[in-house]
């Protein structure tokens, strides 16, 4: 879709989110998070596990509400989930009772658009390389194929923002590299804003415009690192490796500020 | 590195199946040459990951040919990968076939297919040749002879057909032992009841006399069966629909669950037959009372299993549908219900069992013209042959109903194949 002005800019102001544990103790998942994401930008969130990256993504998706602070998409407050902010999980979570075509068409079907946009659905299935599998059921697909179907299911709604929660975490290394390239291709083609949570430093550097490194509980933004490497990026270039070393150093530092948590 | 190299060897060496300790020794000798080849850095690493996958899979599908599988991976893992999966399955069975043929196990004729015919012939021979007990005199009846002859003709035809169709032969040969033993049991039954009269002939009639009931009384029995099915169908559908609806409400909405769930828990476990006194008093006819009892029996398991299916829908399915723009209506009807269908079917099956029990009880308590009523009535008249005939009708009918339900479930839950094993 051709848009006159690019949409999909996100602004987060003083976001705070706490969870109550069964014993009544409150755990702060996010504390005072301020972030601005430009339209069409590719941003990665990286940090130690349990630091609230996924919580932040769920807030953006509208699946949870922050305790305080404001989240806006194109200056409109985010109050509930909606198709303009599609979320892709680590697990493809395709609906097993629907065929691949019906899965991809789901978002349009609930908006009663699936009849007029038939060709578009097929286009997106082709875009992710699943042509010929329209009538297959999810259990007949491999992990990588299912994840691509999940990607198509999100993209067919023309989301302004695509939220990716460790989308390739469960894939083997070879498939993951392929999927990363495919994601970049789709991103270039559609210039959707992408926000990705990942554990993989290489993946973050390879894909993102900016990398947001988060600190563990309570999660704050530790550092925002712009990736100034020209695309297509080569994972062996010195710039790449340098940046990688730097991020790893920050993560290490962030992990050990209070106390050493693990000895290996 | 070591691991990668071994994996690579596994994929490349064609004869690794024969590999014993000797070969491992020779592998160790090879190592220096391998090392010099393997310092290619990044590209190499990519390749290796790729081999790793290939080798892992090829272990499972060695028959399909590891090299072919590798080729399919190179050509981009889209359609080719999918084809490979189906193809290798196909190949596997083909190879099995081949192996069997090589072992001389495949013949055009399988002796086992003749067993039912032989067993039936034996039964017929005993029936015709062994003289009856002298202590009782029965009127000679032709029915058992006729039925046995028909069975022999059918089983012989089936055995002949098996010579021409391999698939039929396999299936029929597998089932033939059961048929043969079943015929043998009929034989024993015939000897015990008719030839030796070891059991009270009033309570344990011979097969001949049971068959005679079907011939003489089939019209009336059919009428009874019709009445039973009408009662069963009305009760079952009302109960199933009510149970499905309650289950959705209780499973989805906390508010409904708060009010209805205790009710389900208190009323549900009461066996529906315990309601008989109340149902008879409060409903105008015995028919409506029976419908009420049957639907109550179906309602409980359907409600409980539907609601647990709905409330256990994976949260991530609902979240995904949320982010795809689904409203509550869609989340219930397009996500929660389809995902709960396997549980709903378990509830419907349990309900079917409960409805059969209740139907019989209801008919014995006063509904006119039903197959349960027929059995009860004939028992009072001491015509036990009719009782057995009625039991056979019930068994066959309920078997057909259950089979039909399984077929329907398989049709609706076709997506489940490979997800949940039953």
ipTM computed for the complex: 0.85
List residues of B whose CB lies inside 8 A of any A CB: 41-42, 46, 49-50, 52-53, 76-79, 81-82, 85, 314, 316-317, 319-327, 330, 334-335, 338-339, 341, 413-419
Bridge partners, residue A33, by sequence:
A15
CA distance A57 to chain B (A): 12
Query: Nearest-CA neighbor of A14 among A91, A69, A65, A56?
Result: A69
Between A110, A137, A172, which is nearest B49 by CB?
A172
Q: How far apart are CA B309 and CA B62, in angstroms?
A: 40
Put simply, the answer to whether A81 touches B49 (Cβ < 8 Å) is no
For residue A223, give the 3-state DSSP assignment. Answer: strand
Q: Where are the alpha helices (DSSP H) in B64-142?
A: 66-74, 79-102, 115-129
Low-confidence residues in chain B, pLDDT < 70: 1-107, 418-422
pLDDT computed for residue B2 by the predictor: 43
Confidence label for A2 from pLDDT (cuts 50, 70 and 90): very low
Q: Are A149 and A182 in contact (CB under 8 A)?
A: no
Name every chain B residue with its beta carbon within 8 A of the beta carbon of A133. Answer: 79, 82
pLDDT computed for residue B97 by the predictor: 58
Residues 44-83 of A with CB under 8 A from B: 61-63, 81-83
pLDDT digits (tens, 9 = 90+) for A151-189: 899 989 989 999 999 888 888 888 888 889 988 988 888
pLDDT computed for residue B79 by the predictor: 42
pLDDT computed for residue A221 by the predictor: 85
Q: How far apart are CA B348 and CA A239, in angstroms?
A: 64
Put simply, the answer to whether A83 touches B324 (Cβ < 8 Å) is yes
Name every chain B residue with its beta carbon within 8 A of the beta carbon of A174. Answer: 46, 49-50, 52-53
Put simply, the answer to whether B327 touches A129 (Cβ < 8 Å) is no
Put simply, the answer to whether A106 touches B334 (Cβ < 8 Å) is yes
pLDDT computed for residue B197 by the predictor: 86
CA distance B368 to chain A (A): 45
Query: Nearest-CA neighbor of A160 among B325, B60, B123?
Result: B325
Backbone angles phi, psi at A113, to 5 degrees: -115, 0
pLDDT computed for residue B418 by the predictor: 62
Residues 145-174 of A with CB under 8 A from B: 145, 153-154, 157, 163, 172-174
Give A96's contacts (C-beta < 8 A, 6+ positions apart): A137, A138, A139, B339, B415, B416, B419
Q: How far apart are CA B213 and CA B221, in angstroms?
A: 9
Q: How far apart are CA A117 and CA A156, in angstroms?
A: 9
pLDDT computed for residue B95 by the predictor: 58
pLDDT computed for residue B422 by the predictor: 39
- Give the CA diameter of chain B: 98
Mutate to test the interface with A, among B55, B315, B323 (most CBs of A within 10 A): B323
The residue whose two tokens read 């390739």 is A168
Computed from CA positions of residues B291, B297, B300, B303, in that sequence, does the dihedral angle turn out positive or negative?
negative
Q: Are A195 and A154 in contact (CB under 8 A)?
A: no
pLDDT computed for residue A18 by the predictor: 86
pLDDT at A211 over 60: yes
Between A98, A140, A235, which is nearest B42 by CB?
A235
pLDDT computed for residue B314 by the predictor: 92
A140 in reach of chain B (CB within 8 A): yes
CA distance A39 to chain B (A): 19
pLDDT computed for residue B247 by the predictor: 95
Tokens read off for A169: 């975490």
Residues 10-29 of A with CB under 8 A from B: none
**DSSP code, position A98:** S
Put simply, the answer to whether B324 touches A86 (Cβ < 8 Å) is yes
Query: Nearest-CA neighbor of B390 among B403, B371, B377, B406?
Result: B371
Put simply, the answer to whether B320 touches A63 (Cβ < 8 Å) is no
Put simply, the answer to whether B325 touches A82 (Cβ < 8 Å) is yes
Give me the helix-helix angle, A100-109 and A143-155, nearest 10°.
Answer: 20
CA distance A126 to chain B (A): 11
pLDDT digits (tens, 9 = 90+) for B121-143: 999 999 998 888 777 777 788 99
Put simply, the answer to whether B78 touches A107 (Cβ < 8 Å) is no
**Mean pLDDT throughout A182-197?**
88
Bridge partners, residue A86, by sequence:
A162
CA distance B87 to chain A (A): 13
Name every chain A residue with its beta carbon within 8 A of the beta carbon of B336. Answer: none
Nearest CA in chain B to A132: B79
Put simply, the answer to whether A139 touches B417 (Cβ < 8 Å) is yes
Name every chain A residue with its beta carbon within 8 A of the beta carbon of B327. Answer: 110
**In the A/B pair of chains, how many CB contacts fall below 8 A?**
115
How is B331-374 classified by DSSP, letter by letter?
Answer: IIIIIIHHHHHHHHHHHHHHHHHHHHHHHHHHHHHT-SS-HHHH
Q: How far apart are CA A45 and CA A53, in angstroms?
A: 6
Nearest CA in chain A to B339: A97
Name every chain B residue with its beta carbon within 8 A of the beta carbon of A129. Answer: 76, 78
**Mean pLDDT throughout A129-148?**
89
CA distance B299 to chain A (A): 25
pLDDT at A115 over 80: yes
Extract the runs of DSSP E, i.e. beta strands, from A148-220: 161-165, 193-198, 210-214
């Amino acid at each position: 879709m051709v848009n006159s002005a690019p949409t999909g800019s996100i602004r987060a102001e003083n976001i705070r989110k706490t969870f109550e544990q069964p014993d009544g103790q409150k755990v702060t998942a996010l504390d005072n998070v301020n972030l601005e994401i430009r339209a069409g930008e590719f941003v990665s969130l990286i940090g130690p596990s349990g630091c609230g990256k996924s919580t932040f993504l769920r807030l953006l998706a509208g699946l949870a509400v922050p305790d305080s602070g404001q989240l806006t998409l194109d200056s409109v407050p985010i109050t509930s989930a909606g198709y303009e902010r599609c979320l892709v999980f680590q697990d493809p979570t395709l609906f097993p009772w629907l065929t691949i075509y019906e899965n991809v068409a789901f978002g349009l079907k609930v908006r009663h658009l699936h009849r007029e946009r038939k060709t578009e659905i097929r286009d997106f299935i082709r875009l992710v390389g699943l042509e010929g599998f329209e009538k297959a059921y999810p259990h007949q697909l491999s992990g990588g194929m299912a994840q691509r179907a999940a990607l198509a299911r999100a993209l067919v709604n023309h989301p302004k923002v695509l939220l990716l929660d460790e989308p390739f975490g469960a894939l083997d290394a070879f498939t993951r590299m392929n999927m990363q390239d495919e994601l970049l291709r789709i991103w270039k083609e559609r210039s959707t804003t992408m926000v990705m949570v990942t554990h993989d430093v290489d993946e973050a550097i390879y894909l993102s415009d900016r990398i947001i490194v988060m600190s563990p509980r309570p999660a704050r933004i530790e550092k925002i690192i712009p990736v100034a490497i020209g695309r297509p990026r080569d994972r062996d270039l010195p710039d790449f490796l340098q940046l990688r070393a730097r991020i790893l150093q920050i993560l290490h530092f962030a992990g050990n500020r209070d106390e050493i948590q693990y000895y290996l | 590195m070591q691991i990668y190299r071994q994996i690579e060897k596994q994929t490349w060496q064609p004869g690794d199946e024969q590999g014993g300790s000797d070969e491992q020794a020779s592998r160790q000798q090879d190592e220096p040459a391998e090392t010099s080849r393997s310092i290619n850095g990044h590209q190499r690493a990519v390749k290796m990951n790729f081999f790793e996958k290939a080798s892992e899979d090829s272990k499972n599908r060695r028959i399909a040919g590891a090299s072919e599988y590798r080729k399919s991976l190179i050509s981009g893992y889209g359609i080719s990968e999918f084809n490979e999966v189906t193809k290798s399955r196909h190949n596997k069975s083909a190879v099995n076939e081949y192996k069997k043929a090589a072992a001389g196990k495949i013949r055009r004729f399988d002796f086992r297919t003749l067993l039912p015919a032989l067993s039936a012939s034996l039964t017929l021979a005993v029936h015709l040749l062994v003289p009856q007990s002298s202590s009782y005199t029965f009127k000679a009846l032709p029915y058992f002879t006729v039925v046995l002859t028909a069975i022999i003709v059918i089983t012989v035809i089936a055995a002949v057909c098996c010579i021409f169709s391999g698939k039929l032969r396999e299936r029929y040969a597998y089932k033939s032992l059961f048929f043969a033993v079943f015929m043998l049991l009929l034989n024993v039954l015939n000897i015990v009841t008719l030839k030796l009269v070891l059991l009270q002939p009033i309570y344990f009639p011979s097969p001949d006399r049971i068959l005679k009931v079907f011939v003489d009384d089939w019209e009336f029995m059919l009428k009874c069966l019709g009445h039973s099915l009408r009662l069963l169908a009305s009760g079952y559908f009302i109960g199933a629909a009510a149970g499905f609806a309650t289950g959705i409400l209780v499973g989805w909405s906390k508010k409904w669950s708060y009010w209805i769930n205790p009710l389900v828990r208190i009323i549900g476990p009461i066996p529906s037959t315990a309601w008989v006194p109340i149902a008879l008093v409060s409903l105008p006819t015995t028919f409506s009372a029976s419908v009420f009892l049957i639907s109550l029996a179906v309602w409980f398991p359907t409600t409980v299993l539907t609601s647990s299916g709905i409330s256990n829908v994976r949260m991530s399915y609902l979240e995904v549908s949320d982010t795809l723009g689904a409203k509550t209506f869609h989340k219930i009807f397009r996500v929660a219900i389809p995902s709960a269908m396997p549980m709903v079917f378990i509830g419907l099956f349990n309900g079917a069992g409960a409805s059969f029990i209740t139907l019989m009880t209801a008919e014995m308590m006063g509904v006119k013209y039903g197959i349960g009523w027929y059995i009860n009535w004939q028992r009072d008249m001491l015509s036990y042959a009719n009782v057995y005939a009625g039991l056979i009708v019930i068994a066959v009918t309920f078997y057909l109903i259950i089979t039909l339900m399984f077929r329907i479930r398989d049709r609706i839950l076709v997506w489940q194949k490979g997800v949940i094993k039953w």
